């Protein structure tokens, strides 16, 4: 069995998420996620939105400097309310995407990102628009953590 991430291309449907907007650098990303995510989880539980997994949507590249992000949670349905803490409804976009699953500590996702970039180059696909991470269920053992990393692909 290979430890290389497997990259595949699929078409996904839009998926509603409850989010707080932020702006962060790669160095500040863990603290930004923690500070914004608590408000989102509190809101989705209070509004009975059937939360699933935490997500981070990247609207820019935080490794290149401050970038806009949406920090949130997948929910079962769209909603109109905006909370007093700034939680609002957004969505993971529909369309063709490249995706791979990272298994292991969060601070070691680099090889999975590089595998997606290499796949795009090899297949002639263009990574375009937002990218996002969907965090699997929490485990105390970092080796058991899973994160689905997804990149929107340019139209053909």
**Domains recognised in the chain with CATH numbers:** 8-153 (3.20.80.10)
- The C-alpha atoms of residue 29 and residue 134 are separated, in whole angstroms, by 15
Q: Which two tokens stand for residue 5?
A: 């991430």
Q: How far is CA 105 from CA 37, 57, 102, 154, in A?
A: 19, 19, 9, 30
What tens digit of pLDDT does each residue of 94-137 get? 999 999 999 999 889 999 999 999 999 999 999 997 999 999 98
Phi, psi of 61 (to 5 degrees): -105, 105
What tens digit of pLDDT does each residue of 14-69 get? 999 999 999 999 999 999 999 999 999 999 999 999 999 999 999 988 888 899 99
pTM of the model: 0.92
- The share of the chain scoring above pLDDT 70, in percent, equals 99
């Amino acid at each position: 069995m290979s430890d290389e991430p497997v990259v595949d291309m699929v078409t996904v449907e839009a998926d509603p998420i409850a989010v707080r907007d932020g702006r962060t650098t790669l160095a500040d990303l863990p603290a930004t996620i923690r500070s914004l995510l608590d408000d989102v989880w509190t809101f989705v539980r209070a509004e009975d939105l059937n939360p699933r997994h935490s997500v981070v949507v990247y609207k820019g590249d935080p490794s290149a400097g401050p970038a806009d992000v949406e920090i949130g949670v997948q929910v079962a349905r769209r909603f109109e309310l905006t909370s007093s803490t700034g939680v609002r409804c957004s969505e993971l976009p529909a369309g063709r995407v490249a995706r791979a699953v990272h298994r292991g500590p969060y601070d070691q996702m680099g090889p999975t990102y590089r595998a997606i970039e290499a796949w795009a180059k090899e297949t002639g696909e263009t990574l375009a628009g937002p990218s996002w991470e969907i965090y699997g269920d929490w485990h105390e053992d970092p080796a058991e953590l899973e994160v689905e990393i997804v990149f929107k692909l340019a139209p053909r």
